[in-house]
């Protein structure tokens, strides 16, 4: 571990991830996925998990060098394979009541020099094979959480002009600030933050909007909302009854758009880091919910391939509202990491919807979910389309327009 990473800050992050993030229950097993570079954080999370009464903590690690070895040496047929047996085992753990913790911190540009076609094939194979393990997460059946570790490779991308170890320390500080870990007790911070998010959630749900209308530079978008959509944000109870904070950090409130009722144009306000590539200046046009035109000044081929992943990849499954004044936005950093970058701006997600953002969604069949407007896909990719120049109106079922955001900030304070 870099000498520039404050061990007390790392330990507090681990404690918060267990107590507030996943909210691990006595006797509950914990399954952790992480890059090997984050080993020190995994160790500290494990300590705090057992102190909280964990039944069994089981980590699974990935490694950048092992990942690259595949691209540089494997036979062509390897790129259409994924360990389905592993994901079936994870699914069995979740069905048995285990909680899930994911640690992000991989090199966001690791695959930048690899064949984009092979990267896309691996991503598709992984998405298909991992579906059994992802369904309990997407359906919010179990308590889960994602936190970040400032790996050397990631830190070097965010702070390219300083020595790597110093960059790790700076990224640790940025993660610490964004994750609201300052003060005597982060639990107080998170309770207050969740309460503020819940106020916006309650107001949005009371409005019962049928659509949102976005206007801004390059954006004039009418975004229908799914039938029976539910706004969520902050701490929420999983179907197993455990209240958890899925993302640390988080600044968003979100719901399910109607996959077939989106019309107009929208321009991205921040770059999207995806599969080792940076896609810049995304601009798309929707007709009847589907993206029919898509351009980018950089990475357009990656964007086009993403949209062709499956039938649902060119439709959206999530819409999220984030004020421009969020701490992550105000940091001025591009993290090259969705966990952070999505919390700097209002965003939409291509692909799979979250069933729990539709009333009774966890009990609906795929066809019933589709009838309500919920999108289905093997991908879920967030990209940012909010700024201080974007206004949002809510459209009621009677056609009334209600200000939701003005200049990137909540119209209702």
Average pLDDT, the chain: 95
Instruction: Quickly tell me which residue has 């959509």 as its tokens.
Output: 229
Instruction: Quickly tell me which residue has 């976005």 as its tokens.
Output: 214
Give residue 286's pLDDT.
98
Report pLDDT digits (tens) over 218-234: 999 999 999 999 999 99
Give residue 350's pLDDT.
97
**Residue 4 reports pLDDT greater than 90:** no
- What's the whole-number mean pLDDT along residues 61-73? 96
- What's the whole-number mean pLDDT along residues 137-151? 94
The token pair at 122 is: 């691996």
pTM of the model: 0.89
- What's the whole-number mean pLDDT along residues 16-32? 97
Q: Which range, of 40-49, 112-121, 239-248, 396-405, averages the lowest pLDDT?
A: 112-121
- What's the whole-number mean pLDDT along residues 178-191? 89
DSSP β-bridge partners for residue 62: 35
**Residue 1 reports pLDDT greater than 80:** no
- What's the whole-number mean pLDDT along residues 260-277? 93
CA-CA-CA-CA torsion for 16, 18, 23, 25, nearest 10 degrees?
Answer: -150
CATH code, 7-178: 3.40.1830.10
Give residue 275's pLDDT.
81
The gap from C-alpha 163 to its chain's centroid, in whole angstroms, comes to 29
The token pair at 211 is: 């659509």
The token pair at 68 is: 């690259």
**Residue 63 reports pLDDT greater than 90:** yes
Instruction: Quickly tell me which residue has 């993290």 as its tokens.
Output: 335
CB 230 within 8 A of CB 279: no
- What's the whole-number mean pLDDT along residues 241-252? 95
CA distances from 299 to 67, 328, 351 (A): 22, 24, 19
- What's the whole-number mean pLDDT along residues 30-48? 97
Report pLDDT digits (tens) over 75-119: 999 999 999 999 999 999 999 999 999 999 999 999 989 998 899
Which residues lie closer than 8 Å to 399 by C-beta, 6 or more apart? none
CB 25 within 8 A of CB 242: yes
- What's the whole-number mean pLDDT along residues 43-49? 98
352: left (phi over 0), alpha (psi -120 to 50) or beta: beta
Buried b (16+ CB within 10 A) or exposed e, 259-296: bebbebebbbbbbbbbbbbbbeebbbebeebbbeeeeb
Which residues lie closer than 8 Å to 104 by C-beta, 6 or more apart? 35, 146, 147, 148, 149, 337, 339
Domain with CATH 3.40.1830.10 in the chain: 7-178
Give residue 83's pLDDT.
97
**Model confidence at 362, in pLDDT bands (50, 70, 90)?**
confident
Sign of CA dihedral 65, 71, 75, 76: positive
Report pLDDT digits (tens) over 319-346: 999 999 999 998 999 999 989 999 999 9
The token pair at 280 is: 């810049």
Report pLDDT digits (tens) over 377-403: 999 999 999 999 999 999 999 999 999
Buried b (16+ CB within 10 A) or exposed e, 54-69: beebebeeeebeebee
Which residues lie closer than 8 Å to 332 by C-beta, 6 or more apart? none
Q: If you write DSSP's letter for every residue of 346-403 in order, what string do you get?
A: -EEEEEPPPGGGBTTGGG--HHHHHHTT----S-EEEEE---TT-EEEEE-TTS-EEE
Report pLDDT digits (tens) over 269-316: 999 988 888 899 999 999 999 999 999 999 999 999 999 999 999 999
Sheet holding 401-406, edge to edge: 290-295, 283-287, 257-267, 219-225, 211-216, 391-395, 401-406, 409-410
């Amino acid at each position: 571990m870099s000498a520039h990473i404050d061990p007390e800050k790392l330990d507090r992050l681990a404690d918060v991830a267990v107590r507030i993030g996943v909210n691990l229950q006595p006797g509950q097993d914990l399954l952790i996925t992480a890059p090997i570079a984050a080993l020190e954080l995994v160790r500290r999370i494990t300590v705090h998990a057992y102190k909280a009464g964990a039944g069994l903590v089981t980590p699974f690690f990935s490694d950048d060098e092992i990942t690259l070895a595949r691209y540089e040496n494997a036979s062509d047929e390897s790129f259409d394979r994924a360990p389905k047996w592993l994901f079936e085992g994870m699914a069995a753990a979740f069905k048995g009541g285990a909680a899930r913790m994911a640690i992000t911190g991989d090199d966001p540009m690791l695959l930048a020099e690899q064949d984009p076609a092979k990267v896309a094939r691996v991503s598709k194979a992984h998405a298909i094979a991992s579906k059994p393990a992802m369904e309990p997460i997407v359906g919010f059946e179990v308590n889960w959480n994602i936190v970040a570790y400032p790996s050397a490779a990631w830190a070097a991308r965010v702070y390219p002009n300083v020595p790597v170890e110093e960059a790790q320390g700076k990224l640790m500080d940025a993660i610490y600030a964004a994750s609201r870990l300052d003060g005597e007790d982060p639990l107080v911070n998170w309770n207050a933050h969740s309460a503020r998010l819940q106020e916006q959630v309650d107001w949005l749900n009371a409005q019962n909007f049928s659509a949102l209308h976005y206007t801004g530079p390059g954006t004039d978008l009418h975004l229908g909302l799914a039938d029976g959509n539910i706004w969520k944000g902050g701490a929420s109870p999983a179907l197993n009854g455990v209240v958890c904070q899925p993302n640390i950090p988080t600044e968003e409130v979100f719901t399910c758009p109607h996959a077939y009722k989106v019309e107009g144009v929208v321009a991205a306000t921040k770059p999207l880091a995806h599969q080792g590539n940076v896609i810049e200046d995304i601009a798309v046009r929707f007709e009847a919910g589907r993206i029919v035109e898509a351009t980018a000044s950089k990475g357009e081929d990656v964007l086009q391939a993403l949209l062709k992943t499956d039938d649902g990849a060119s439709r959206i499954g999530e819409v999220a509202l984030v004020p421009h004044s969020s701490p992550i936005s105000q940091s001025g950093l591009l993290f090259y990491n969705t966990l952070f970058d999505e919390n700097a701006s209002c965003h939409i997600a291509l692909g799979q919807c979250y069933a729990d953002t539709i009333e009774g969604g966890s009990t609906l069949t795929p066809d019933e979910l589709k009838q309500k407007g919920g999108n289905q896909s093997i991908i879920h990719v967030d990209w940012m389309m909010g700024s201080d120049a974007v206004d949002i109106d809510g459209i009621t079922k009677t056609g009334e327009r209600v200000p939701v955001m003005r200049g990137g900030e909540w119209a209702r304070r």
